[in-house]
A and B are shown apart, each in its own frame.
Chain A
Amino acid sequence: MGLKDALNALFGRTTLPRADLDSLFAVSTAAVTMQTSLGLKPSGRAGICFKPIESSRHDAAVSEIEDLLGFASAETGSEYRIETDEYGFIWVVLEDPDFDDLITGVHLVAQTLIEHAFGTYLLCAVYRFENSKPVYWIYSFKAGRYYPFVPEGQMKRDNGYEFRLRSLLERELPLEKDVEKWYPLWGLPL
């Protein structure tokens, strides 16, 4: 706990960490490794999850995202939809067979939200991979790190496979080291 954190605690200031996009693109090379080593293919689907907030500027940001995605999809042929999940979070779900275009799309949405000063409300980006079952890589915007999530039926996850993914990608993907922070996201809309 640094001095700034200590002062924030002393004065009861709740601060939110900023979104960190630096390592977002790292999943691109990791995708190649996963395909060659495990036969895991990108499903062509990704989602960005953020928390809607009570502000008219927020609605403006969302409609700008829609405009931008409209332009982008006209160019790259990617598709998108916007959903609100059962916890009230907004998901922008992107679909594009080209994995790099998909990452660019995710970056675009995140960047737009940050430009409108809603970067602190970005939760995560999720990339779906699959062979026999879905495998997700979750990018936490707050930590700027990835972690795997392999759901297995209702409220269960395949920890063995997740650890395997970790050891495979330790070198090329900035991973969340604290396993306790590998928080699951059940009922993903992608």
Chain B
Amino acid sequence: MARWHHDRGLQWRMGVTLILLMFVYLVFITVLAYIGVETLFLLAIVAVMLFFQYYFSDRMVLWSMGARVVTEEEEPRLYQVITRLCAVAGMTRPRIAIVNTTVPNAFATGRNPRNAVVAVTTGLVNRLEPEELEAVIAHELSHVKNRDVMVITLASFLSTAAFFIFRNWFFFGASPRSDRNSYLWWILPLVALAVWITSYLLIQALSRYREFSADRGSAVITGHPSHLASALMKISGQMERLPTEDLRKVEGMNAFFIIPAVSGSTIFHLFATHPPVEQRIAALEQIEREMGG
């Protein structure tokens, strides 16, 4: 494996983030157990929520974005591009969906490579050169290959639980288990809020790192970091010049994912979330230098 295929620094940061997240969750569970919340019952509720999200998120996301899964006959070129990239990456080919909007964007969804769908907007297809489009698709394939939906779903499991407690505190508040801990009972929403905020920030960081990873993955699969860099430049430039109508439409799409568990786990935008494009382009240029050396 070529040296430029990996970024040890990035993997360290990701590891540290995961450890911190586990630590926050451990503290949270300890507090819950000490206060005497029916932890198992709570976790069961969250597990069921996440199970549905995990299994139905792909269809939900595609539906909410107005994405239509297309066949190979309808989009032979796109399928040829994705077929070849998958052959290089040694992975099962996901299906392709098209979103009919001028906003250039792409996303990947699906709980595993077999169920994955890579969606591109017509704006993206029309505006990018073939090799730039290929790089964007490779970025999405990396998300699929790295199982980002699963990783973030698991990472946000207790974060969702904390949010759930905070929001439904009155429901829990109505039935404190024992008098001994009744004063602790009132601390519960504060703890839940603190856990939710810290884990939210950590999950945000994690998903940014995974964006960088997918950018590198695109460079690894296509062998051309510069193609993704120019695609990102083009998309970000186009974004600013678009009519407000379309921007509002984009905003509307983002508004759908308000609670953190959904915002992070079900969807990986090429563009809509952090990190800033300049940083991503700088990272890609760095990969290009590593390749030469």
Taking Cβ atoms with an 8 Å cutoff, the residues of A that contact B are 8-17, 51-56, 58, 86-89, 117, 120-121, 123-124, 140, 142-143, 155, 180-181, 183-186
Q: Which residues of A contact B10 (CB under 8 A)?
A: 12
Asked if A121 and B88 sit within 8 Å, CB to CB, the answer is yes
Would you call B5 an interface residue if the criterion is a C-beta within 8 Å of the partner chain's C-beta atoms? yes
Contact partner of A9 among B147, B223, B291, CB < 8 A?
B147
Q: What 1/0 flags go to B88-128 for Cβ under 8 Å of A?
A: 11101100000000000000000000000000000000000
Q: Could you tell me the distance between the alpha carbons of A55 and B225 in the complex, rounded to whole angstroms? A: 11
Asked if B146 and A8 sit within 8 Å, CB to CB, the answer is yes
Q: Which residues of A contact B18 (CB under 8 A)?
A: 10
Q: Which residues of B contact A15 (CB under 8 A)?
A: 1, 5, 220
Asked if B213 and A55 sit within 8 Å, CB to CB, the answer is no
Offer 17 A-B interface pairs, CB within 8 angstroms, sorted by A: A11-B15, A12-B11, A13-B146, A13-B213, A14-B145, A14-B213, A14-B214, A16-B220, A51-B84, A52-B223, A53-B223, A54-B288, A55-B292, A121-B223, A142-B88, A180-B92, A181-B93
Majority secondary structure, B binding face: helix
Asked if B1 and A54 sit within 8 Å, CB to CB, the answer is no
Q: Could you tell me the distance between the alpha carbons of A87 and B222 in the complex, rounded to whole angstroms? A: 11
Asked if A186 and B76 sit within 8 Å, CB to CB, the answer is yes
Q: Compute the total of residue contacts between A and B using a CB distance below 8 Å.
A: 112
Asked if A155 and B73 sit within 8 Å, CB to CB, the answer is yes
A9 in contact with B145 given A53-B223, A54-B223, A54-B288 (CB within 8 Å): yes
Asked if B81 and A87 sit within 8 Å, CB to CB, the answer is yes
Q: Could you tell me the distance between the alpha carbons of A89 and B224 in the complex, rounded to whole angstroms? A: 12
Q: What 1/0 flags go to B274-285 for Cβ under 8 Å of A?
A: 000000000000
Nearest 3 Cβ contacts at the A-B interface: A53-B223, A12-B213, A14-B217
Q: Which residues of A contact B92 (CB under 8 A)?
A: 180-181
Q: Which residues of B contact A184 (CB under 8 A)?
A: 83
Asked if B134 and A88 sit within 8 Å, CB to CB, the answer is yes
B217 CB to closest chain A CB, in angstroms? 3
Asked if B72 and A12 sit within 8 Å, CB to CB, the answer is no
A35 CB to closest chain B CB, in angstroms? 28
B229 CB to closest chain A CB, in angstroms? 11
Would you call B40 an interface residue if the criterion is a C-beta within 8 Å of the partner chain's C-beta atoms? no
A117 CB to closest chain B CB, in angstroms? 6
Would you call B164 an interface residue if the criterion is a C-beta within 8 Å of the partner chain's C-beta atoms? no
Asked if B87 and A140 sit within 8 Å, CB to CB, the answer is yes
Q: Which residues of B contact A181 (CB under 8 A)?
A: 92-93
Asked if B88 and A87 sit within 8 Å, CB to CB, the answer is no
B275 CB to closest chain A CB, in angstroms? 14
- CB nearest neighbor in B for A123: B87
Q: Could you tell me the distance between the alpha carbons of A186 and B79 in the complex, rounded to whole angstroms? A: 10
Q: Could you tell me the distance between the alpha carbons of A14 and B148 in the complex, rounded to whole angstroms? A: 12
Q: Could you tell me the distance between the alpha carbons of A146 and B212 in the complex, rounded to whole angstroms? A: 35
Asked if B84 and A123 sit within 8 Å, CB to CB, the answer is yes
Q: Which residues of B contact A54 (CB under 8 A)?
A: 223-226, 288, 291
Q: Could you tell me the distance between the alpha carbons of A142 and B130 in the complex, rounded to whole angstroms? A: 24
Q: Which residues of B contact A140 (CB under 8 A)?
A: 87
A51 in contact with B14 given A87-B81, A123-B88, A142-B90 (CB within 8 Å): no
Asked if B90 and A143 sit within 8 Å, CB to CB, the answer is yes
Asked if A88 and B130 sit within 8 Å, CB to CB, the answer is yes
Q: Which residues of B contact A53 (CB under 8 A)?
A: 222-224, 291
A9 in contact with B222 given A16-B89, A123-B87 (CB within 8 Å): no
A14 in contact with B14 given A9-B146, A51-B88, A155-B72 (CB within 8 Å): no
Q: Could you tell me the distance between the alpha carbons of A123 and B148 in the complex, rounded to whole angstroms? A: 26
Asked if B216 and A183 sit within 8 Å, CB to CB, the answer is no
Contact partner of A51 among B5, B216, B222, CB < 8 A?
B222
